[in-house]
Chains A and B, each alone.
Chain A
């Protein structure tokens, strides 16, 4: 299940590291039910009063069934940690770690798909739902309410920073959010715009969505296909960043691993056109997003 229910029980793999231990109190403060940490060889320790176990299996034995796991493990250990979670029967995995090798990403994605698991990331800043008091990952930092107040608009963004930026923009215009998620800007991501939008079709709270795309890949293009097929009925507002990169040589990576134009693939102006043709409301300027959302509500 991608849209976790209120009270969902979460564990944190690698949560004892520096980034994980910074994010953990912000998740707990928000009301997220983080039950335990998992770090190999640190079993028996505690972090913020939570027990730490050597493995996901051990954690489950003590705290019982869990609904999801958030991964803060180092890049080259992500594959092993994700496989461990899948084998232990965890149905929701959100990977915050950046710089995971593409080969490992494709392996994790294939395994998650085979096992019917919801996978968000890698390179996801996290996911937040104000009405369900769920905040998984670093999203919003220690002050999520600065950017995310309860409302009816979902935010799906390849960029972690822009997830908050859109939240603030909407808030400044009197709009709140139902869900916000950083899906990550890597080549291979577990949940793309389309997957999330499809899940939101059945979410009664969400009335419209804003997506932040950028150069590279075909995840934005898939939204236009799903929209044309009628599978996405709720209004979608899109902003696509990186048009200026078309002035520069191709085959250059801009920020995120997947933000790269290869041949003719991945150009922002083409993405915008394809989305427009499919009936997505495309914001030419970032600051137009809120008015497009209001027009669609």
Chain B
């Protein structure tokens, strides 16, 4: 989960890291008479959206009068930045900057561990500037750094007199502690600035590790949110709810709509990727992408099937997965069949099923008895790509018949 800047800054403040004085304004505050600015002098208005590059989109405005603030707030609340509607604006005291730096902590697959990323030059366009990365030892939670590396970086200057010494820099130590304590996947401060009163974090981008949610009750305060720069469809929102209500297995946590005519109910993380690539490759047009895996109960598969089949103008359904190691095929395909039976506008388009795994013989026996749907059953002797070809051809024929 990615946090909004104002949520991230609260975490920084709690960790003892200085942030500018701020006030969070919600769009509803402007409607009522309750809005009053608690700051004087120059302020920075920052639209609270999850996507980066908001400055380029006009999401950051500097004002020095109450009238200017009021009019700029109106302006920001009318904006949609990278597909996200602005609902909250952070108003901050403008800080006198002596020097800007970039600091972030993240996990790197090269070192297979946490890394500290630093640049002497913070600010916009950091992607093009030199960022140096240093491994952080997850056991001691200290930075692994040689003297020669450290001496090139002003932010560390004088801080690392000897190689491999534990971090003594107060601000970095606090950031590292926060990164680990809050199970962050990313903690990015750009810029971290030096002022005459010490270090101040002017921005905060924090990504939390969803796998750690069970040991962070406090994360429940963060409302659900979409992917940055993207507006989820109603089906996507519905699909995501399936896992929230039942922790067993995974069903629908990834769902995307496409504009094609073949509904897809895939299973298995890797198999569903392989299946979608195969479908696109032969010119098939999926209506959606979604996936279930990890042996979910049949009720979850039933719900996901209903969402997948709720799309209009379908010409086929492809139920596809690999040969599972431990997902119960009878159970999951029973859930699929339950959904088929319950759906009000009964699908008469072709349905191709390619699946295998525990209790698949029982599952196929059950499905063979189904006569009121146009089912086509394939097991491990038919490859995923071959079954893609079957559904594409059948859907084409169905569409032609329909249009006669």
Taking Cβ atoms with an 8 Å cutoff, the residues of A that contact B are: 19, 22-23, 75-76, 98-103, 106-107, 109-111, 114, 125-126, 138-142, 146-147, 157-165, 168-169, 172, 185, 187-189, 192, 212, 214-215, 217-219, 222, 239, 241-245, 248-249, 251-259, 263, 285-287
Is A165 within 8 A of B212, CB to CB? no
Interchain CA distance A137-B139 in the complex, whole Å = 28
Is B270 within 8 A of A158, CB to CB? yes
A to B contact number (C-beta, < 8 Å): 184
Is B271 within 8 A of A162, CB to CB? yes
Interchain CA distance A285-B33 in the complex, whole Å = 63
26 contacts between A and B (CB under 8 A): A19-B326, A101-B211, A101-B215, A106-B112, A106-B138, A109-B138, A139-B325, A146-B323, A146-B356, A146-B380, A162-B270, A163-B325, A164-B325, A165-B323, A168-B380, A187-B109, A188-B113, A214-B269, A252-B227, A254-B254, A255-B268, A255-B269, A258-B109, A285-B281, A286-B385, A287-B383
Interface residues on B, range: 35 or more
Known: A110-B139, A218-B109, A244-B289. A157 touches B326 (CB 8 A): no
Distance (whole angstroms) from the CB of A273 to the closest CB of chain B: 16
CB-CB < 8 A to B269: which residues of A?
159, 161, 185, 214, 254-256, 259
Interchain CA distance A147-B380 in the complex, whole Å = 9
Is B326 within 8 A of A214, CB to CB? no
Is A218 within 8 A of B110, CB to CB? yes
Interchain CA distance A255-B227 in the complex, whole Å = 15
Interface-central residue, A222, A258, A287, by most chain B CB under 10 Å:
A287
Is B211 within 8 A of A100, CB to CB? yes
> Is residue B199 contacting chain A, with contact meaning CB distance below 8 A?
no
**Interface segment out of the listed B11-19, B189-197, B272-280, B339-347:** B272-280
CB-CB < 8 A to A245: which residues of B?
273
Is B256 within 8 A of A248, CB to CB? yes
Give chain B's interface secondary structure class: mixed
Is A110 within 8 A of B229, CB to CB? no
Closest B-chain residue to A215, C-beta based? B273
Is A106 within 8 A of B107, CB to CB? yes
CB-CB < 8 A to B2: which residues of A?
251
Interchain CA distance A222-B293 in the complex, whole Å = 28
Is A161 within 8 A of B273, CB to CB? no
> Is residue B324 contacting chain A, with contact meaning CB distance below 8 A?
yes
Is B107 within 8 A of A101, CB to CB? no
CB-CB < 8 A to B385: which residues of A?
285-287
Distance (whole angstroms) from the CB of A135 to the closest CB of chain B: 11
CB-CB < 8 A to B386: which residues of A?
287
Per CB-CB distance, the 8 closest pairs between chain A and chain B, nearest first, are A159-B270, A255-B269, A161-B268, A241-B273, A161-B322, A162-B270, A217-B109, A101-B212
Distance (whole angstroms) from the CB of B32 to the closest CB of chain A: 35
> Is residue B137 contacting chain A, with contact meaning CB distance below 8 A?
yes
